[in-house]
Structure 1
Amino acid sequence: MSFSAPRIAENGQSGGDAVLTVSQLNRRVAQLLEDGVPRLWVAGEVSNFTRAASGHWYFSIKDEAAAVRAVMFRGRAQAVGFIPEVGGRYEFRVQVSLYEPRGDYQVQVESMRQAGRGDLHEAFLRLRDRLTQEGLIDPARRRPLPVLPKAVGVVTSLSAAALRDVLSVMARRAPHVRVVIYPAQVQGRDAAPQLCAALDRAAARAEVDTLLLVRGGGSLEDLWSFNDEALARRIASCPIPVISGVGHETDFTIADFVADLRAPTPTAAAELCCEERGRLAGRLQAACDLFARGQQRRLEHVAIRLDRACAQLVSPVQRLQLRRQRLEFAARLLQAGLDRLLQERRRRPAMAMDRLTIGLDGLLQHCHRRLEAPLAALGALDPHRVLGRGYALVRRADGAIVKNALDLKIHEPIEIEFGQGRAQAEVTRTDVLL
Structure 2
Amino acid sequence: MALQKDIFTVSRLNNSVKTILEYEFNGIWLIGEISNFVQPASGHWYFSLKDNTAQVKSAMFRGNNRSVRFIPSNGQQVLVKGRVSMYTPRGDYQFIVEQMEPAGDGLLMQQFEQLKTKLAAQGLFNAVHKKSLPKHIHKVGVITSPTGAAIKDILTVLKRRAPQLEVIIYPSTVQGSDANKQLIDSINIANTRNEVDVLLIGRGGGSLEDLWCFNDEALAHAIYASQLPVVSAVGHEIDTTIADFVADIRAATPSAAAELVSPDQSELVEQLNYQRKQLRNAMLNTLKQQQYQLHLLQGKLSYNHPASRLQQQSQRLDELTMRMQHTIQSLLSSRQHQLIKLQQRLEQHSPKHAIARQHTNVSQLNQRLVHAISSKLEKEKHTLALQAGQLDAFSPLKILGRGYSITSHAKSGKIIKLANDVKVGETLKTQLSEGVIYSEVKELS
Question: Normalising TM by the smaller chain, what interval?
Answer: 0.3 to 0.5
TM-score by length of 1: 0.42
Higher helix share: 2
